[in-house]
Structure 1
Amino acid sequence: MKFFVPATKDNKEAENVYSILQKKIRQANYKPTDARVYSITFEDNGQELTETVGKSSPIAHENVVAIFETEDIYLICTTNRGILRGLPIAAGKWAITRAELFDAE
């Protein structure tokens, strides 16, 4: 899948929004890797969940805007969580059963 950020008009705007989100993640004392994550599947309370950029989050019930990988967890930014208010949804790496990256440029 080619890299994108939902609701952006072109690649330049997508890169700009992604950089802003990444900076916000760093300001919250997380250290995101350079991996550009498209989708993750993980176990949560015995249930398998998949969070995918551009699709509705099964947890937050709003659009997933970006997913960031850190050393121990993945951070799922939705329209509100991690962007407009509060912290992103966290998924521990130990619970991840599948991670799909955007295609390399």
Structure 2
Amino acid sequence: MRFFVPGTFDASTADVLWSITRNKLQKALDVPIWDRRIQSLSLMIDREHVNVTIGEAYHGEEVLMIFEAPQLLICTAGHGMYRGKPIVVPKERAVAVEFFDA
């Protein structure tokens, strides 16, 4: 699937928003964030499989971006995107990771 950010109208706007958010998070969290763009995650949390996908709800909010850093960073409007910090998930909880097409 081609990269997108929910609520953007075209690929160039999505790219700019992704870059701005990535830079903001790198500075705020003082961690490197890799270039690969994650479309969805399958996580094992408390012995349950949990799917996190761009454009779908997670913790009651639409997932807007998922970043690959030393830990996985899930961004919604209220977590990491416009307010607050991202939802941080240890990488070892990821059972599967699906990336957007390059």
Tell me the TM-score normalised to structure 1 length.
Answer: 0.91
Q: Where does 1:87-98 land on structure 2 (aligned, <5 Å)? A: 87-98=85-96
1:9 — aligned with what?
9
Segments ≥4 residues shifted beyond 2 Å: none
Task: Spell out the pairing of 1:40-59 with structure 2 (5 A cutoff).
Answer: 40-57=41-58
Q: How many residues align?
A: 101
Unaligned runs of 5+ in 2: none
1:63-89 per-residue CA deviation (whole Å, 9 max, x = no partner) reads 100000012x11000111012221111
**Cα distance in 2 for residues equivalent to 1:85 and 1:4:** 20
Query: What secondary structure is seen at the aligned counterpart in 1 of 2:72?
Result: strand
Matched residues, percent identical?
36
CA distance in 1, matches of 2:37, 2:65: 9
The root-mean-square deviation of aligned C-alpha atoms, in Å, is: 0.9
**Do residues 85 (structure 1) and 86 (structure 2) align?**
no
| Partner secondary structure for residue 94 of structure 1 | helix
Amino acid at match of 1:25: L
Corresponding residue SS for 2:61: coil
Which letter maps to 2:83? R
Residue 30 of structure 1 deviates from its aligned partner by 2.1
Secondary structure in 2 matching 1:14: helix
- For normalisation by structure 2, the TM-score amounts to 0.93
Q: CA deviation at 1:54?
A: 1.0
Are 2:59 and 1:67 equivalent residues in the alignment? no
Whether 1:19 and 2:19 are equivalent positions in the alignment is yes
